[in-house]
Amino acid sequence: MRFFATPRHLVEAIAEEAQPQGCEVVERDGRVFLIINVDCECGTASVTEIDLTAVAERVWGRAACGITHIEPGTETDGEILCWQDEDLCSRCHERLNDQLVQDAARYRHIRNRQFRAVDIAAGGVFAGIVHANLIIGGEDLDRAIDAEMGADVPAVEPLERRLAKCLAECVDTPLLTGKDEPGGFNTPLDIRLGFFRPDLSERAADLLEEAGI
C-alpha cells in the first residue's frame, strides 16, 4: 500500500500512472491538469481536461485526517491517538482497515455468486470476461484477476467445464464389466450408472448437453 504525505504527492502519483497510458500532464497557475485525447471513428477527436489538483484535494479531504503532530495523551472518540504506520495516524489506519474489510466483503459477494441459468435470469451483479462473453466466479475469477494484474497464472479450464467433464466420466465409465454365459457371444458387458439409476443418468446427460460437452 502506498502512503502519501501531502495532496501534492497524491497528484504526482496519479500523473505518474497516467502518462504511460498516453495522457498528457500540464501545470498551469500552480495546478496540475490531465489532458486526455481520444480519436473518434468519424475522424474527429475529443479532448478531456481533468483538474488533478482538485481531484487530489477532494480525495485527501475524504481519506486523510490532516494530522501532522500528535501530543502525548491525545484522544479521539475516547481512544488514544498515536502514529500507527509511517505518517498514518491510528484513526486513519482504522478507517482504512474498515474500507479493506468492506472491499473484501464486496469481492466475496461477487466471487461466490451462483451463475446458473436461473440466477442469471433473475438478474443482479456478476463478474465476467467481456470479450469471451463469459460469466465467472470462484477460483476462475481469482485467476482471471491475478492474470489481469500481471501475475503468472497457469492456464486452467474454467471450473464449470472441469466439473462437466468429471460428470461425463462418472456417467460413461463402466462400474462393472462382465461376460455372457458360456455358449453366448462372449461379448464384454459394461454396466454403467444408468443401469442402476437411469433418472440420474438422464439428468446428467441434459446438464452435459447444456454445458456443450
The region of weakest confidence among 66-80, 111-125, 197-211 is: 66-80
Residue 153 lies in a domain: no
The answer on 198 and 170 residing in a single domain is yes
Q: What does the pLDDT look like over 64-76, one tens digit per residue?
A: 555 656 666 666 6
Backbone angles phi, psi at 105, to 5 degrees: -65, -40
Residues 58 and 73 in one domain: no
Domain assignment of residue 135, given as a range: 117-148
Confidence label for 4 from pLDDT (cuts 50, 70 and 90): low
* 3 and 29 together in one domain: yes
132 and 103 in a common domain? no
Pinpoint the alpha helices (H) of the chain. Answer: 7-18, 52-63, 90-111, 117-122, 138-148, 159-172, 193-196, 198-211
Task: Check: CB of residue 93 under 8 Å from CB of residue 84.
Answer: yes
Q: What is the pLDDT of residue 87?
A: 59
Model pTM score: 0.43
Distance CA 24, CA 47 (A): 11
Q: Are 52 and 42 in contact (CB under 8 A)?
A: no
Residue 98 covered by a domain: yes
DSSP for 177-188, please give it.
Answer: EE-PPTTS----
**Residues 165 and 133 occupy one common structural domain:** no
Q: Is the pLDDT of residue 184 over 70?
A: no
Residue 203 CB-half CA count within 13 A? 5
